[in-house]
Amino acid sequence: MVYSRVAAQACLLHHQARALTNCSRGIRNAWHFYYALNLVIKAVCGGFGIALLTP
């Protein structure tokens, strides 16, 4: 009986740690996407601005 309770607690802790890891991975991917998109927009708009300034 005690073993099953310990095993259940260990399983619950493992699940919580895994959920936290998956959430962290999603947040990291979101930040990477944000900065990559920001860089692309700056590159496109910067090139467009230079094209407008040249005679």
Is the pLDDT score of 45 beyond 70? yes
Q: Give the span between the Cα atoms of 33 and 16, in whole angstroms.
A: 26
Is the pLDDT score of 41 beyond 80? yes
Length of the chain: 55
Q: Give the span between the Cα atoms of 30 and 36, in whole angstroms.
A: 10
Is the pLDDT score of 55 beyond 50? yes
Is the pLDDT score of 3 beyond 60? no
Is the pLDDT score of 1 beyond 60? no
Structure tokens at 6: 């310990």
